[in-house]
Each structure stands twice: as structure tokens, then as C-alpha cells.
Structure 1
Amino acid sequence: REDGSVSAGGMRELVPWMGRLGTAFDVDGLFVEVHDDPDASKCDAATQWPLSRFSALLDTIGVPRKSASHEQQERSGAAWLPPPAWQAGRVSKACTAVEQQLGEALALQLEGATQLRPAIDSLCADLLERRQSGAVYCSAVGKSQASAMHLSALLKSVGLRAHFLDATNAMHGDLGAVKPGDLLIVFSKSGETSELLQLVPAAQAARCRVVGVVCEGGNGGRLRGVCDSIITTPFERELGRHIPQLPTNSVLSHIVFSNLVASTLSERMAESGSFTIAEYGASHPSGSIGKQLTTVSQAMEKDVPQITFLSDGTLSIQDVALTMAAARVGLAVAYESVDGPLLGVVTDTVLRDISTNGRTVMRKSDIRDDFVITEDGQRLLLDYVGNASFVLFRQQQRVVGVVELERTSLNGRQ
């Protein structure tokens, strides 16, 4: 054709080949004229495809057959709509492109982590000072708020007095919470966020140190000129092409930076002994983290009764049951004699098994000896899972607490 397009031009035999050519180039759709008697058609008879051969045409072109309803549409001559799978190739290619861009962004963050190390170390020094006295505030506007909230939440977890500060509300009274010596960290992609440009001088007037975190690619904007220090995180472009302004990789850059700051800070605190994993667990009593960071002293049964075997090496199960019932616990610690060695643990399950077998006395061989002993109540239960069934907490050579691991939420965790 004169306009550059191509058609079968009255050659019905070329329809299958043009269809296959279209699917090879991932076209959005194919328009095919179909007639139950093409030669009798009053319009475009030479290009009409026989309805009786339409199914075979779809198979030749490679269009998936979906359901009986489509068969009915074909027989009735109704319009046939390609199924969603028709676009699978195009969608797959789009996803592949996005995934490739995301991979490039993550690689950029990894590469930039080394360059950020001096800035992160300096910021961690500021944060450690505020752990002794003062507070930390994180602020941002728009999608960058996610980064500010994320960092403030991480800092709280490691014992800092950290808070998210809404930039707008700060200028309407919330700035009153900021005291001399506090630290304010502001996040901005461009460094031109107007609300932050108002907040920073106001916070500095309250004798608060301000650190700005901006994305690479610009010069830090006007924030560079007003903040006490500026940190630039790795960034090239946002993810995707349809809306290139959608904040994706810029937020990712700040989130990765926040993670690096929090992990570096926790390492510094661990090295100095100023914050232990037990303290971290104490501030996370619930959820999966709370279960994993439960200490021996937190989980142990206290005032566990002590039982001693008779000289003949036996003990009445009735006496043991009454002793356990009086203490209102389901276990007891067994010793060979009054001043003898520790044998292990007796549980209500052991007593039940003995009674079921028709016995009235317990022997030393009935004692559960799959236990470990610790004198450190701050040890995590997770350290013992898989190595023993009981953890015995000992002080001054006597067991003062017992944890039955099989009955904790950590049972089965490795």
C-alpha cells in the first residue's frame, strides 16, 4: 500500500502467514474477516476466511483456545476476543525490563555502601551521643516519609529515643518537643522540599543539629546550604518508564541507607557493651522476635520443688505428685540424696507413664536427664533448642529455675 501498510490484498491464502507474522512481533491483536460462505460475501469476498476453518486458523497462528463459549462464538460468527494469555509475551517482556532495572538499582546500592561508610560512621557517632542524652527526630515529606519512619523505628528498637517528626505539624507547634542537643535527620530526594527548608532553620534555632539525606544525581539542592551536614545516597533513576517520576528507587536508596545505619549502630553498641541482645529482646516481648529472644530468666519456672531418692533408690510417685501439686508446677528437680548429685527432672508426664504401667514407685532410671545447666539467666532459650529438653538455672550449686523447652513456643525451632 501507498501508506506503507501491508495486507493480504485479496489473497486469502496469505491470512495464516500474516497472522503468524503478527504473533511473532507481539502485536496487540489481529483483525480477521470471517464468513460462512466467503465467495458469496457482498464485501471483500477475496479476503474473507471460511468460518468452518476458523478454528484451524487459530491453531496455525498460535492463539490459545479457551472454552466452549468461544467455540459457540465461532459457529455463530460473533466477534472473538483474544484471551488474556494473548498478551503474555508482551507482559513478560515488560516485567523482565522492570526486574532488570531493579537489579541494577540494588547493585548500585551495594556498590555505594562502601562509599557511604565514612558518612555512616560519622552519623552513628552522633547517634551514640544522643543515646546518653538527647533525642533523635526523623522527618520527611511525601513518599520519603516512609524512609524517615523506618529509620526512627529502627533506632527505637536499639534503645534510642527516636521519633518521627511531621514537617508540617512541626511548624505549627510540634517543634516544641525538640530540645538543645537533639539530632534531626531529614530525608529528601531533591533537597528542594519546601517544608524541610522551613523546618531546618527553625530546628537549628532550637540548637538542634540537622543532618540532611538526599539522593545522588543533584547537588543536594538548597538543603545542602542549610543543613549542618549532608549525606548523598546512590541513585540514578526511578523504576519503570511509564511514570518516571514515581518515587521507587529514590525511596529504596534511603531505606537501604537507614538499614546500614541501624545495623552499624547496633554493632558499635555491641562492641562497647552498651546494648545487649537481651536488652533488645526485652523491648520486643511479643511476636516472632519476642519468641526468639526470650531469656532463661524470663521463661523459667521458679520455686521448683526438690525431691530426693530414698536409700533404696526409689521414691513414691504419690509423694512426688503431692509435692508438685503443692508447688503448683508440673515438674520437680531430682537429686540422688540430700547432698548428692543432680539426677535430672521429673515431669507430670513421667508420673502418668509410671502410673499407667501399674507401678507405684519411681526409680532413678525414670528421671529425664536430657538437660543443660546454666548460671546465666540472660542466655537466650534459642541457644539451647535442639540440644536439650530442659534448661536448669543454677545459683550457688542449687537449681532455682527450670525451663521445659518442649512446652515453649520455640519447640521445634533450630
Structure 2
Amino acid sequence: MTQEFSETAIKRMARHVLEIELEALELSKKSIDDQFLKAVDVIAKTKGRVVVLGIGKSGIIGRKISATLASTGTPSFFVHPVEALHGDLGMIMPGDVILAISFSGQTEEINKILPSLERRKLTIIGMTGNAHSKLALMSDIHITIHIEREACPYNLAPTASTTATLAVGDALALCLMKIKHFEKRDFAVFHPGGSLGKLLTQQVKDLMRKGKNNPTVRETASVKDALFVMTQTGAAGATSVVDNKGHLLGYFTDGDLRRLLQKGADLLNKNITEVMTKNPHHILDTVPAIDAAKMIHATHVDNLPVLDKSGKVVGIIDEKDLIEYLAFLDKK
């Protein structure tokens, strides 16, 4: 550290910044008023998109708000006001709602395009810190951003104001998310590359063991035959019992074998149909993998036979194939 700034002084400065920003977040609760409710109502009812405008730091915050809206069920995109002045206004369609962000409310580039938006009878939602600014007065709905001061020691650099604006934008997006009944599965569809997307969009057929790794025996097989197939096809420790068309008749597991051996039964030469579990738990190959995890979790089995829509056995799904999913359920 320099002689001018000790570690203690820097920690004190950093904490002071966070205190000011926390104060701004506390004041942000005042933004949740009748105008905020009108904004939610208008956006929830529109069949168009939310077009977000902003420049400078407000533009960066606007991009983030637009991205949050879009990813939580409210179609949205960001337009840079300068580009809008040079042709990008053509991206805005009838029925769209404008969300214009400027803390001062006096941003020239935004205010220049407002008359054009008004003539097209588009609803304008202004988000500013000045209810008497040009943007606020030209807006159909105005959401006020309340802060006492910026965290900047000169009260100039947008800091507390951008934090508060972002928080109010998040509140707007998540209220709309609830109103639109946007659920985890919808989120996964919009985020297929994320971990939640993977968990909620993969199907059983994407993870099941099939082909040579899918243990099956005919109803004519002996227990000895079944044990041989179970051993040859890997670590699942189970086999499906099928008829001559491949339809599921029953299921036999190494757990069944242990329980029967404890009874002193002479098993190896018995027909598999005498000892198999009839009408076992099973799952379709097109079911979301998370549902297979839920079934395994609820029934306390190690694996399940997988059927296609015709009832034929096409695979087996084991708890080892669903570790991520089971971990996800345990966190809920």
C-alpha cells in the first residue's frame, strides 16, 4: 500500500461505498408505487416486446434489465438511442412497450427520439431519478429512482443510482415472471446450456443404458441365465424380463436374489417368472430425466426399466446415471 492510503483506510473507504449503496437499495422500496404497478400491468398485457433504451452507464444497466426480462418470460431487446436515431427505430414494432432509462432524465439522445415514439402511439415507461425531467414528463408511466447521493466522493460517477436502477429493473422483471407463471421448466428451455437447463430438458432416453448395456431375458430363462446376463451387462444389478415381442413382464434385481437366498431357496434352476417382481416400477424413455430421479428417490429403488410408447423395454436407468438429478432434488 502507498503511504497515503493504508489498508485500514482502504477498507474504511470500501465499506463506506457499500453503506451508501445499501442505503440506495433501501430507498428503492419507494419506487414500488402506483406507477410501478401500472408499468407491470402494461407490460404483462402487451403482445409486443419491451424495448429498452439507455446510454452510457444507464445503457449498460438497461442491457442487463432487458436480458433479465427476456430470460424470465418477457420478450425484450435493447436499442442504443444513437443507433435508433440512425435507423434502428425500424426495429420497434406496433404494440411494443418502451422502457427508457436515464437517471438525470435529460439524456439528449433519448429525448430526441421520444416524439417519434409518441407519434407511433407506443407506451413509454421512463425510469429516472428526476420526476420533473423531460423524459419523466414525456413518459406515460414514470418510475422514480430514489437515492440520496452517489457513492462517488464527488457525487458524480453513477454508482448508487445504477445499483438502485438495476434493483428496480430486477423487481419489474421478476414480478412479470410470476404474473406470467414462468416456471423452472420454462427457465430451463430458455437456458439449455446452463446446469438447470440440462437438468430439466434432458430425457430418460438421453441417459439410459441401452443395446448391449440393457440387461433383458426372456420369460423362459432360468435364474442362472438371468444372473449371467446381469453380470455380462455391467453394474446395474438388475434385468428386465420380456416376452417374445420385447414387452415388459417383470423385473429381477440382485436385491431380490439376496432376499431369496436368505430364505435358503434353491434358486439357480428356477424359472425367472417364479421369482421376478411382476408389474414393477418403470418409466417411459420420453419422460424428463428429472422425473426418473424423482421416481427413484420416492420408491427407494436403484434402477428402473425404460419402455417406449409401445411398452417394449428399450433401456435401463440407474441411480448412478442420475447423480446430478438426485443431488438437485436433495437441495430442494
TM above 0.5: yes
**Count of paired positions:** 301
Letter in 2 for 1:228: D
Q: Indicate which of 49, 70, 75 corresponds to 1:161.
A: 75
Give SS of 1:314's match.
helix
- SS across alignment from 2:22: helix
1:60-108 Cα shifts (integer Å, max 9, x gaps) = xxxxxxxxxxxxxxxxxxxxxxxx37556x3422432332342342244
Identical-pair percentage? 18
Change (3 A) 1:277 1:173: same
Contact 2:24–2:163 (8 Å) recurs in 1: no
Quote the residue 2:195 is aligned against: 288
Task: Give distance in 2, aligned partners of 1:400 and 1:212.
Answer: 57
**CA distance, structure 2, for counterparts of residue 333 and residue 397 of structure 1:** 19
Aligned to 1:98: 14
Distance in 2 separating the partners of 1:285 and 1:210: 33
Deviation of 1:332 (Å): 7.8
Alignment partner of 1:142 is 2:63: no
Cα distance in structure 1, aligned partners of 2:323 and 2:29: 37
The residue aligned with 2:147 is 235
Larger Cα-atom Rg: 1
State the structure with bigger RCO (CA 8 A, min sep 6), 1 or 2: 2
Aligned to 1:315, the other structure's residue is in SS state helix
Contact 2:226–2:239 under 8 Å retained in 1 = no
- What amino acid is aligned across from residue 194 of structure 2 in structure 1? G
Letter in 1 for 2:25: Q
Shift in Å at residue 292 of structure 1? Answer: 4.1
Rounded Cα–Cα distance in structure 2 between residues aligned with 1:114 and 1:373: 54
Q: CA deviation at 1:134?
A: 1.4
Per-residue Cα deviation, 1:181-234 (whole angstroms, up to 9, x for no partner): 11010100111111111122211222221100012xx33411121111110122
Letter in 1 for 2:138: V
**TM-superposed deviation, 1:149:** 0.4
Equivalent pair of 1:124/1:261 in contact (CA under 8 Å): yes
Change (3 A) 1:167 1:298: farther
| 5+ long unaligned stretches in structure 1 | 1-83, 347-358
Corresponding residue for residue 266 of structure 1: 177
The whole-number CA distance in structure 2 between the counterparts of 1:372 and 1:234 is 58
Q: Give the structure 2 partner of residue 121 of structure 1.
A: 37
Partner SS, residue 410 of structure 1: helix
What amino acid sits opposite 1:406 in the alignment? K
Contact 1:374 1:394 in 2 (8 A): yes
Which runs of 5 or more residues in structure 2 are unaligned?
256-267
Query: Distance between the aligned counterparts of 1:390 and 1:197, measured in 2?
Result: 63
1:402 Cα offset (Å):
5.0
Q: Kindly state the Cα deviation for residue 126 of structure 1 after the two structures are TM-superposed.
A: 2.0
Structure 1 stretches of 4+ with a deviation exceeding 3 A read 84-88, 117-121, 291-312, 316-322, 330-333, 335-346, 371-376, 378-405, 411-414
* Alpha carbons of structure 1 residues 112 and 285: separation in structure 2 relative to 1, 3 Å: same
Q: 3-state SS of the aligned residue for 1:225?
A: helix
Question: 1:288 and 1:397, CA in 2 relative to 1: closer, same or farther beyond 3 A?
Answer: same
- Worse-matched range after superposition: 120-129 or 186-195: 120-129
d(CA) in 1 for partners of 2:304, 2:49: 40
Contact 1:148 1:187 survives alignment (8 Å): yes
SS at match of 1:230: strand
User: Match for 1:240: what amino acid?
Assistant: C
Task: Choose the corresponding residue for 1:252, options 163, 168, 175.
Answer: 163
Q: Is the 8 A contact 1:385 1:410 kept in 2?
A: no
- Residue in 2 that maps onto 1:214: 128
Does the CA contact (< 8 Å) of 1:139 and 1:148 recur in 2?
Answer: yes
For the 8 Å contact 1:297–1:377, the answer to whether it is kept is yes
Q: Deviations over 1:352-405 (max 9, x none)?
A: xxxxxxx9xxx99xx9xxx98667935746964994754666788956665445
TM-score using structure 1 length: 0.59
**Mapping for residues 372-391 of structure 1, pairs under 5 Å:** 377-378=287-288, 380=290, 384=294, 387=297, 390=303
Alignment-mate amino acid for residue 283 of structure 1: F
SS at match of 2:150: coil
Is 1:315 aligned with 2:225? Answer: yes
2:150–2:160 CA contact under 8 A, matched in 1 = yes
- TM-score w.r.t. the length of structure 2 is 0.72
**How far apart, in 1, do the equivalents of 2:55 and 2:205 lie?**
41
Instruction: Specify the SS of the correspondent of 1:202.
Output: helix
